[in-house]
Amino acid sequence: MSSRRSRISDDEINDLISKLQALLPESRRRTTSRASAAKLLKETCGYIKSLHREVDDLSEQLGGLMATMEADSPQAEIIRSILRS
Amino acid sequence: MASSSIYSPPAEPKSTTHPLPNSLFDFLWFNSMACQQQPLPHGFLLDSSCFPSYLFSSLDDACSVAVVNDNSAAAAASFDGHFVCSVIANQEASTMIENKRKSRSDETSLTTVSTQCKNNAKEGKSKKQKRAAKKTEEKKQSSNSDVYVRAKRGQATDSHSLAERVRREKISERMKMLQGLVPGCDKVTGKALMLDEIINYVQSLQNQVEFLSMKIASLSPVLYDFNVDLMDCINQQQKLIRGIVQEPQPCVEQNNHLQSQAKSYENEAFTSYQLMEQASGAPSLHSQAHTNFSQEVTGSPLQVGAPRQGFQDQAAFLNMCHFQ
């Protein structure tokens, strides 16, 4: 009975954790050593922050690109639509 | 014995080594010490006269009378050699005494005091033990690791479960941090659902980064790393890159429309670049573009299976072409 435990089993959680590990850009992916969940979560935090920064940088780059083009060219329109989303 | 006089000290010799206590505290201390040292004859405690006058010299006569009047056996039981208990009993007794000034229900009150004291004694012992155990556990824990853990009431206190609890708390703390980072995660409760949400968010962020970098790469012609000398190489690369643009299929709907646009712009870019290279070699642009491009490639994590691998190979191919 204790194994049923609110429909979410430990295996599912382990599965999710390994999926998360697969997403993270770790250099030691070949060994696929199971790091502890706490470390994984911390890495995920840092990774999400770096992704945010990257998105911001790229958006800025796009914005810079747009400044070099004419304002009403179709490219500018596309970039504007991207930056709006 | 409803006497209102204060009994004189009993004729029985107490331990002569102990000085006569002249305060209640001293008496209690004396009592406990005496109890520890030797098994006191029952009579010593039983005798109501064991509440000597000097004991109650600081108290009101009425108070002392009240206590003295009561059942000494019960009192004796209460002072059965436990110092804490006796202090408690003293406090209880004093409160009781206060009450008794109004009502003179002698025996019952002191028996209640004594029973309370007995219970307190037992509780006190067990509480003390538990507290001691907890303290030792905490000390052990803090000496083993530098984590300060307090075992809360009603929780297991052995070192394994303490360590386990520390671990679980760390994990839940990190989960809360992630909850703050990932939008829309605060409505979800439970580890599995939150993890699911986090995974989806990370994937979507990665897609976004890929898409943006692709857009930038397609829109700015100088970022392409083309070999100046080999025109057919460039043509090949044109085909490859068109293939690259077609392959990534993120779930964003805008992309389809934009990809077709990107293709057309790439054609423009290629033609303009060919014009440029005919005009001048511009090797510096190459190196700059190369570094930019490689940054783009390594910046976005390439997760999608085979097409991504194709992309990487093509990037390597481009690099090789550059370096010949």
Average pLDDT, chain B: 56
Residue A17: helix, strand or coil by DSSP? helix
Contact A78 B258 (CB under 8 A): yes
Hey, of A12, A14, A78, which one would you mutate to test binding to chain B, going by the most B CBs within 10 A of its CB?
A: A78
Q: How many CB atoms are closer than 10 A to CB B41?
A: 10
Q: What is the pTM of this model?
A: 0.39
pLDDT tens per residue across span B282-303: 444 444 444 444 444 444 444 4
pLDDT tens per residue across span B79-105: 444 443 344 444 444 454 454 555 554
Which of chain A's residues have a Cβ under 8 Å away from the Cβ of B181? 45, 48-49
Which of chain A's residues have a Cβ under 8 Å away from the Cβ of B167? 36, 38
CA A81 – CA A78 distance, rounded (Å): 5
Contacts of B275 (CB under 8 A, 6+ apart): none
Average pLDDT of the segment spanning B257-283 = 46
CA A51 – CA A63 distance, rounded (Å): 18
- B197, two tokens: 């949400």
- B259, two tokens: 């990809």
Give percent of chain B with pLDDT exceeding 90.
3
Amino acid at B322: H
Per-residue three-class SS string for chain B: CCCCCCCCCCCCCCCCCCCCCCCHHHHHHHHHHHHHHCCCCHHHHHCHHHCCCCHHHCCCHHHHHHHHHCCHHHHHHHCCCCHHHHHHHHHHHHHHHHHHCCCCCHHHHHHHHHHHHHHHHHHHHHHHHHHHHHHHHHHHHHHHCCCCCCCCCCCCCCHHHHHHHHHHHHHHHHHHHHHHHCCCCCCCCCHHHHHHHHHHHHHHHHHHHHHHHHHHHHHCHHHCCCCCCCHHHHHHHHHHHHHHHHCCCCCCCHHHHHHHHHHHHHHHHHHHHHHHHHHCCCHHHHHHHHHHHHHHHHHCCCCCHHHHHHHHHHHHHHHHHHHC
Contact A8 B299 (CB under 8 A): no
CA neighbor of B44 nearest in space, from B76, B22, B71: B76
Residue A25: helix, strand or coil by DSSP? coil
The whole-angstrom distance between B254's CA and the closest CA on chain A is 9
Q: CA angle, corner A67, sides to A65 and A69, nearest 5?
A: 80
Average pLDDT of the segment spanning B274-284 = 44
Of A43-57, B15-29, B150-164, B283-297, the one with minimum mean pLDDT is B283-297
Which of chain A's residues have a Cβ under 8 Å away from the Cβ of B203? 23
Which of chain A's residues have a Cβ under 8 Å away from the Cβ of B192? 8, 12-13, 16
The whole-angstrom distance between B286's CA and the closest CA on chain A is 19
Which of chain B's residues have a Cβ under 8 Å away from the Cβ of A16? 192, 195-196, 199
CA B118 – CA B82 distance, rounded (Å): 10
Inter-axis angle of helices B106-144 and B83-100, nearest 10: 140
Is the Cβ–Cβ distance between B192 and A8 less than 8 Å? yes
In this prediction the ipTM stands at 0.79
List the single residue in B170, B201, B215 with the smallest CB-CB distance to A82.
B215
CA distances from B79 to B72, B125, B200 (A): 10, 14, 69
